Structure 1
Amino acid sequence: MRSFHKRPLAAALTLSLAGILSTQADEVDLPATMAWTAYGTNSSGYAQAVAIGNMLQNEYGSSVRVLPGENDVSRMTPLKQGRVDLCACGIASYYGAEGVLMFADRDWGPQSIRVITTSTASFGLSLAVAGDLDVKTPADLAGKRIAYIRGDDALNKGTEAYLAFGGLTWDDVERVDYPGYARSFDGIIAGDVDASFTTTVTPPAQQLASSPRGISWPMLDPSDKAGWQRMAAVAPYFRPHEVTAGAGNIGPDTPLSSASYPYPIVVANQDLDDNIAYGLIKALQDNYDDYKDNAPGANGYALEYQDLEWVVPFHDAVVEYYEETGAWSDELQAHQELLIERQNVLMQAWEQFMQNAPADDDAFTSEWMNARATALRDAGFEPIFE
């Protein structure tokens, strides 16, 4: 078995010919079968997992069984229980690592998960706004009717982040509750609400674009440092993104300065076998051309699209791969160690909290969030979620 270790920081920047040859010579060592969870069968995340699985089968004889899950909990439960190797998850993987929102629950708490790889493709994640309104930037959303999706923390957090970019909160807009995501777009078309959070390429956004109201997307100025800081304080997983695919007039020749975060986010438990983690990231990079065109968004796994300074730590074996290929640096290693320290603080806080946790569910969540925030602040970290 490969031996994975933390190298001295200075070595992370060294890319020698010997290192290149060593990396090329390493054999990919994957099990005969693996199981992944992913979004539903009609999702791009599922299609990408299947495309990657086909590549692994063809190149290495490793069979991947992809299990669709209809919500975040159903996708992450098998990973928590050790019944699957990986989850091609959404941003709930970050919520799980932090032990917040749907994971601020006695059956969950913070999870020791690690990133294997992510996909950041040409689409963005934004508020779709009715095109008959003069909304150019998030600040223009003041006083507008904004959809709130009951039971969907990720979408509502995205909306909150966009409002924050514009210096707004939910108190500055008219919140309109909907029981589901698709219903909110029906509401925009019907004139009952003005905006709802989505990806720029989703079918509801396309339907809105072809409706009498049309569609618009607020522009996020890449140079607006204060706006990005406000957004990061709410949802630090967003990154500036030049969107080249989307409903309305977004295209390669008419890009939109907006924001995005990876989807899917391929995560594993911290204790995933080093050989599997290393073999996966090497196989994905070495054979990129064999799968990049076989599913929508699969081109987002290229090394150039990997955010190596994101909000969830990488698996140690993935760090080892990036070190060997020269993609790692002192700064990235320092960031990785901070993320691991943060996760350790969360895990210790959870262990202490559970020793005398209240039996009442509402009190449980409230007291855990307080204990979590206190532990993070005492260790010098921002709680972000409170």
Structure 2
Amino acid sequence: MGKLAVATGAGLALSAGAAFGADVKLPNQISWTAYGTTSSGYAQSVGIGQMLKKNYGTGLRVIPGKNDVSRMVPLRSGQSPICACGVAAYMAAEGTHMFGTKKWGPMRLYSLFNNIGNTGFQLVVAGDAGIKTPADLKGKRVTWVKGAPALNINTAGVLAFGGLTWDDVKKVVVPGWKQSAEAVINGQADATFGSTVSGAYNKLAASPRGLFWTTFPHAEKEAWQRSIDRAPWRAPAMIKNAIDGKKNTSGNMPFEGSTQPYPIFVATSKASDDVGYGLTKAVMENFDQIKDAGPAMGGYQLSRQNLKWVFPIHPGAIKYYKEKGLWTDDVEKHHQANLKRQDVLAAAWKDYMGANKDKADEAFVKGWQAARVAALKKAGMGAPFPTWE
């Protein structure tokens, strides 16, 4: 378990001509998809783009997507081979939720590098709710956000740490994340999932309810395994950035919490080895130039990369990590296991589609849920979120 000039619009992902810069062979222009223009992920992409233009003469086009599916469409169509995504990229790789339909299925995605900072991603709870540990969530009101499976799976991971499931709490259904935070402030809910530095939590901290952060002790291995079984991307981290951070179970800063990378830079096989190598090296070795170029960019450091995570690594990025002496036998073994998992999922999808492509949509999805689980279990692999709505 590991610890953890820009323009918008469509266009060709890669154009001919290599940029300048020793050992880094990037085209004159690249593109990747990202969250919308008001997101921190977009702002971080802009900062990286400025560095690429200055150092290598490479222009970056950021293609903003309003949701998880729209960010993946350019990768599937070949318009762009790279995405600065959230954890929904894992669902795309697994072929689940919005990617578990006839139009999608499992995608082969490879990790380049990630932003793994000191910010936590976990539940914030109301200060007056009497919740000091994840187990204390039993019987409490927890938000469930419509159309946001990543948020809800993350919450399930927190509950699992405390030995709980959604059946052990009172589910408060809300239409969006903004309403999720407001529900806690207004007394309609007791806990919601998000970043420990989300601006909405300033309002909660200033409200009569106040806020509180439960810790996730890193020594509790069984609890962590339960959590990761539900949300495989979660990882322990020392949280240094949090609104009212000292209001946590330990009373200390930093505190033992939970995090996940954001953005997650993944690529398809259409990203060449030169691009995979060059982009990874350019970002990792120019951290000082990008660290203040956007919000929360402290995790773009080589020392923070988790090479034993949920995605196989892109061959170009592997070349760079090998040069830096980070590609150990253990990392290679983990990488091969991730590649095998993608092979199992691809074969299961091919077989299932061949026999069931004419099924009605709802029946097709339910059948794929069962087929996916069966294939993974037959291969001796875990099957997180065996069903979805």
TM-score, scaled to structure 1: 0.91
CA distance, structure 2, for counterparts of residue 43 and residue 334 of structure 1: 35
Asked if 2 retains the 8 angstrom alpha-carbon contact of 1:34 and 1:85, the reply is no
CA distance, structure 2, for counterparts of residue 52 and residue 186 of structure 1: 33
Asked if 2 retains the 8 angstrom alpha-carbon contact of 1:198 and 1:205, the reply is no
List per-residue Cα deviations over 1:199-230 (Å, max 9, x = no partner). 11111122211111111111111111111011
Is 1:30 matched with 2:29? no
Q: 1:83 aligns with which of 79, 85, 88?
A: 79
Aligned to 2:8: none
CA distance, structure 1, for counterparts of residue 285 and residue 259 of structure 2: 26
Is 1:288 matched with 2:259? no
Q: 1:144 aligns with which of 140, 143, 147?
A: 140
CA distance, structure 2, for counterparts of residue 161 and residue 81 of structure 1: 32
SS of residue in 2 equivalent to 1:301: coil
Asked if 2 retains the 8 angstrom alpha-carbon contact of 1:130 and 1:216, the reply is yes
List per-residue Cα deviations over 1:157-201 (Å, max 9, x = no partner). 011000000000111111111111111222111111111111111
Q: Segments of 4+ in structure 1 off by > 6 A?
A: none
CA distance, structure 1, for counterparts of residue 369 and residue 301 of structure 2: 37
In structure 1, give the amino acid aligned to 2:77. Answer: Q
List per-residue Cα deviations over 1:122-169 (Å, max 9, x = no partner). 210011111112211100101101111111000000110000000001
Rate the CA distance shift 1:132–1:253 in 2: closer, same or farther, 3 A.
closer
SS of residue in 2 equivalent to 1:176: strand
CA distance, structure 1, for counterparts of residue 376 and residue 235 of structure 2: 23
Aligned to 2:370: 370
Q: 1:218 aligns with which of 214, 218, 237?
A: 214
Aligned to 1:261: 260
Q: 1:332: Cα distance to partner?
A: 0.2
Aligned to 2:381: 381
SS of residue in 1 equivalent to 2:242: coil
In structure 2, give the amino acid aligned to 1:320. Answer: K
Aligned to 1:200: 196
Is 1:158 matched with 2:149? no
CA distance, structure 2, for counterparts of residue 225 and residue 380 of structure 1: 21
Q: 1:238 aligns with which of 220, 234, 239?
A: 234
Asked if 2 retains the 8 angstrom alpha-carbon contact of 1:126 and 1:198, the reply is yes
Asked if 2 retains the 8 angstrom alpha-carbon contact of 1:128 and 1:215, the reply is yes
Aligned to 1:17: none
Aligned to 1:46: 42
CA distance, structure 1, for counterparts of residue 179 and residue 89 of structure 2: 25
Q: 1:319: Cα distance to partner?
A: 1.0
Q: 1:292: Cα distance to partner?
A: 1.3
CA distance, structure 2, for counterparts of residue 175 and residue 80 of structure 1: 35
Matches within 5 A, 1:353-364: 353-357=352-356, 358-364=358-364
Q: 1:271: Cα distance to partner?
A: 3.1
In structure 2, give the amino acid aligned to 1:84. Answer: S
Aligned to 2:114: 118
Unaligned regions of 5+ residues in structure 1, if any?
1-24
SS of residue in 2 equivalent to 1:258: strand
SS of residue in 2 equivalent to 1:345: helix
Higher helix share: 1
CA distance, structure 1, for counterparts of residue 93 and residue 246 of structure 2: 34
Asked if 1 retains the 8 angstrom alpha-carbon contact of 2:81 and 2:269, the reply is no
Asked if 1 retains the 8 angstrom alpha-carbon contact of 2:138 and 2:169, the reply is yes
Is 1:352 matched with 2:379? no
CA distance, structure 2, for counterparts of residue 380 and residue 187 of structure 1: 41
Q: 1:297: Cα distance to partner?
A: 1.9
In structure 1, give the amino acid aligned to 2:296. Answer: G
Is 1:63 matched with 2:59? yes
SS of residue in 2 equivalent to 1:67: strand
Rate the CA distance shift 1:378–1:26 in 2: closer, same or farther, 3 A.
farther
CA distance, structure 2, for counterparts of residue 321 and residue 33 of structure 1: 21
In structure 1, give the amino acid aligned to 2:364. Answer: F
In structure 1, give the amino acid aligned to 2:317. Answer: V
Aligned to 1:14: none
In structure 2, give the amino acid aligned to 1:146. Answer: V
Q: 1:26: Cα distance to partner?
A: 5.7
CA distance, structure 2, for counterparts of residue 113 and residue 148 of structure 1: 28
Q: 2:245 aligns with which of 241, 249, 253?
A: 249
CA distance, structure 2, for counterparts of residue 298 and residue 187 of structure 1: 29
CA distance, structure 1, for counterparts of residue 147 and residue 183 of structure 2: 18
Matches within 5 A, 1:323-338: 323-338=322-337
CA distance, structure 1, for counterparts of residue 97 and residue 320 of structure 2: 33
Q: 1:345: Cα distance to partner?
A: 0.6
Q: 1:85: Cα distance to partner?
A: 2.9
Rate the CA distance shift 1:281–1:250 in 2: closer, same or farther, 3 A.
farther
Q: 1:101: Cα distance to partner?
A: 1.4
Q: 1:249: Cα distance to partner?
A: 2.9
Is 1:271 matched with 2:270? yes
TM-score, scaled to structure 2: 0.91
In structure 1, give the amino acid aligned to 2:164. Answer: L
In structure 2, give the amino acid aligned to 1:382. Answer: G
Aligned to 1:134: 130
Asked if 2 retains the 8 angstrom alpha-carbon contact of 1:149 and 1:181, the reply is yes
